[in-house]
Structure 1
């Protein structure tokens, strides 16, 4: 009697080592209405509220100057709105990607964002107030360094995650982290953008801090980062003069202190309840960068102390949601990247507000979600999507 030989199943794609098939990370869309932790709602809602608040303030801050130039008062709003309409869906799309995907794109994304940043040194590059960190594409001005922040945060998290058992040895902490980070920061400093370079340094330091490296090892990169920033601050006499002007009681009103003082005038003029939305006086070409780096001054002038506190409260709630992700996760990669992104967004907000209050010198960093600038808005929304992706991964026992 003949026996039939069992047929072998058709060989499938090779296993990638963690029980998943295929070399590419697959995006699991899951159930649209699947339950998500409270951290997800907190981060998403504050990001959307800050973005909407920012659109209103950009419109208010630009109507006067746009009308004076014979342009539509809604031009700035429409340009910013395009990036908001693109960025918010991208935030939720990014939230659907698994952690495995973010680990696999860390290196490629850093390389791509560095190459994108290097375009500022091509004929596409645009120089603004001595800084060459923008490029012109299809009528839009794009700042590649904003995407570099996200690429660096993911890369730092991946490198430190892969070396998690070796972080007690300083050489494994430094290589390749410090040389690559210095090279990345150098691409920005070559365009003389000290403010963005400082944020990149903060991202690296934030990643190191949340990776759990020993304090004695962490202090060395901290001092090295401070030394690099200090060197570039004093390397240019003009930059040093502008940075130190906030400490000079006799600072020239018509030169270095014109913008900082008008920022304070705007905040002081608003009082507790503000002059009313749209009633700012400083936006009538008195305050340079009213819709950009100094938009918080317009918030304080038009909406008063109440509006300013509301902005601070929204950023606080965003930070609470992000820190809950850091505290509750069991994945070191998630903890490190979440820490870097949180230090970037919340730290940049505090620096921007501190500049307006004259606690810090003028550094030229925008207020996340709110300042006019489509690239900045797009990058922080996508970064928020990464945080939302991590929030979805929280273990069930931590979701209570």
Structure 2
């Protein structure tokens, strides 16, 4: 019997040399699955870049920031539970709201750290002008008045402080302008133009709302940027003097601010009135002793201490965690300052150095002012403790600012020759 000739097997498209054979009906499904896998891999790689760094300063800043955020959430829960319950939001109302902002702010910080410096340089003017435009909304129907200050807007039931956006805009804009004029910053015309009208106008918008504490922080950002840009110390001292005079004038024209300053200087005030908050802040610190009364065991938060979860959260930290806990918080901000300085020294790009220096001035000065107020070293100014106090707009914008610095820390920029960069540490003529 003769067998039929054996048919030759057609090579599979994947095995055959040369061009691929015709697609099978299942090819579209396989391609779709392959595309999904590739997109997933790309997303994982992109997310992984947020934790890739060439500098130890990146992990120093990132770790300290994340620790402060988590620690702040714990302290907000402890300090706000009573006020939140009385307000009808349950024991966890303020904590959950702050946690939501942390879940927004931390990923945003990591994403911002991936943005190249050229993006910030290209959009510096737009970002600052947009922030100033939002600030103008506080003077309209959306504006919310707290005490004598008009500095918040209400959006979808949530209050937001546009001045926090101006802080970020100022950091980027000042770094951009001062980097472009780095060779000309020895003469007054180039120092003042356009810094004085633009930055002064941005700070002035906030001053119109009456928030002296925020104005002081913003003024410190401007001075910090000028310092790290290499402005001579003599000129900076004169500018600081003029700024102090303006702060005094802003105090004198407000009866409430003048009263607080007078009470602070003389020590004579009504216990049940103007001195209630500062006095009970000191009581809370004293009650904590060295080791504290224990997490969650504060008595001051039981409606005795106003703003226990915000401006006076450091008093609750001292009460519940004692002197040791308070010192640890201060040391964490010292660690942040060290990390900032390391980033500044590692970069030879003026833009990166000025932006990092401005953010450092913002965070460290604000922490100093907040703690100084609680310790009764400064009159009540109403600024939150960075990363720790409750307040969504403050937390998110501060994390965005940290993201900008983390971008410089991950991969130090060397766009300019070191010989044109002024010294950062040390006196200058």
User: Normalising to structure 1: TM-score of the pair?
Assistant: 0.89
SS in 2 for 1:165: helix
- Specify which of 285, 306, 318 is matched with residue 300 of structure 1: 318
Name the structure 1 match of 2:228: 210
Secondary structure in 2 matching 1:365: coil
2:184 to 141, 144, 166: 166
Deviation at 1:219, TM superposition (A): 2.6
Task: Give the paired residue count.
Answer: 370
Alignment of 1:190-205 (within 5 A): 190-205=208-223
Pick from 178, 203, 226: which aligns with 1:185?
203
Q: Matches of 1:214 and 1:71 in 2, distance apart?
A: 52
Q: Distance in 2 between matches of 1:260 and 1:39?
A: 37
Give the unaligned 5+ runs of structure 2: 1-44, 419-429
The structure with the largest alpha-carbon Rg is 2
User: Separation in 2 of the partners of 1:333 and 1:160?
Assistant: 8
1:157 alignment counterpart: 175
Q: CA deviation at 1:223?
A: 2.0
Return 5+ residue gaps in structure 1 as ranges. 1-27
In 2: Cα distance, 1:219 partner to 1:68 partner: 48
Aligned pair partner of 1:239 in 257, 267, 273:
257
**TM-score after normalising by structure 2:** 0.84
SS at match of 2:182: coil
Distance in 2 of aligned mates of 1:30 and 1:86: 15
Give the alignment's Cα RMSD to 1 decimal.
1.7
Q: 1:318 aligns with which of 323, 331, 336?
A: 336
Alignment of 1:317-396 (within 5 A): 317-394=335-412
Which deviates the most, 248-257 or 40-49? 248-257
- The answer as to 2:156 corresponding to 1:138 is yes
What's the secondary structure of 2:380's corresponding residue? Answer: coil
Tell me by how many angstroms 1:309 deviates: 1.1
Distance 1:69 1:99, change over 3 A: closer
Q: 1:309 aligns with which of 309, 312, 327?
A: 327
Q: Any residues of structure 2 matched to 1:258-297 within 5 Å, and which?
A: 258-297=276-315
- On the 8 A contact 1:168/1:213 being kept in 2, the answer is yes
Paired residue secondary structure (1:273): coil
* CA–CA separation in structure 1 for the residues paired with 2:101 and 2:53: 28
